[in-house]
Amino acid sequence: MHDRKARRLVEATLIDGITRAEAEKAEAEWKPYLEEQLKRMAAEGVPKDRWPQHGHWDWRQKQEAADAYLAYRMFGVECQSQMQGLMLVLTAGKNCQIESQKGKPLAYVHFLAAAPWNLATVAPDPRFSLVGSILVATAIHLSIEEEFQGRIGLHSLPQADEWYRNSCGMTDLGRDHAVQDLRYFEMTPEQASEFLK
């Protein structure tokens, strides 16, 4: 990961299989920080459409729900004893929609978020960058491990559309009326290979 303040890369730990305790700790650290920043943003008159759209996600609840299923894998990136990002991936039952890959299985990124202090939209002085990229790369590696050749898919919150389209190089398949009208993105094996470079 990149420490923005120190302007250097720092080592982080990728955790495969987030425990209840780890999810609780992350939630306990993320929530108060986010609430504090939202108060500041409200006081500064920051328009609500610039507030984080995933602020209501409860990772403790997600970990508990996903823990019951073999099909879900939960990952986290930890640095300086704090969780810097979390991701929940579904590894069964989702198929590609892109014509060239149609019907072939993919790893579906159900939820992905960086800690609020790493978000440029929230933190006045964001701490680490590349958290999202590490998690997307992790989803690609999981897809390869599952023999899906790097194919991944996800529904993006509007604030992240541009990042998935331009920074990750995913294909935008348009709005999905079945999933809150969110835009649906897919990555082909070729795009995955390009991303990992």
* Of the residues 93, 99, 177, 197, which one makes contact with other proteins according to CB under 8 A: 93
Copy the structure tokens of residue 88: 């929940």
Rank residues 52 and 150 by Cβ distance to other proteins and give the closer one.
150
Show contacts with other proteins in window 116-135 (CB under 8 A). none
x-or-dash string of contact with other proteins, 149-178, rule CB under 8 A: x-----------------------------
Q: Tell me the CA distances in angstroms from 133 to 20, 120, 126, 190, 195, one per residue in order.
A: 24, 15, 16, 17, 9
Instruction: Please choose, from the candidates 112, 70, 61, 62, the residue with its C-alpha nearest in 3D space to the C-alpha of residue 91.
Output: 70
Copy the structure tokens of residue 25: 């700790």
3 state DSSP class of 166 = helix
For 84, the enclosing helix (H) or strand (E) is: strand 82-90
15 lines the binding site for other proteins (CB under 8 A): yes
110 lines the binding site for other proteins (CB under 8 A): no
CB of 177 vs other proteins, minimal distance in Å: 11
Count CB atoms within 10 A of the CB of residue 24: 14
x-or-dash string of contact with other proteins, 62-81, rule CB under 8 A: ------xxxx-x--------
Which residues are near other proteins by CB under 8 A?
A: 13-18, 68-71, 73, 91-93, 103-105, 146-149
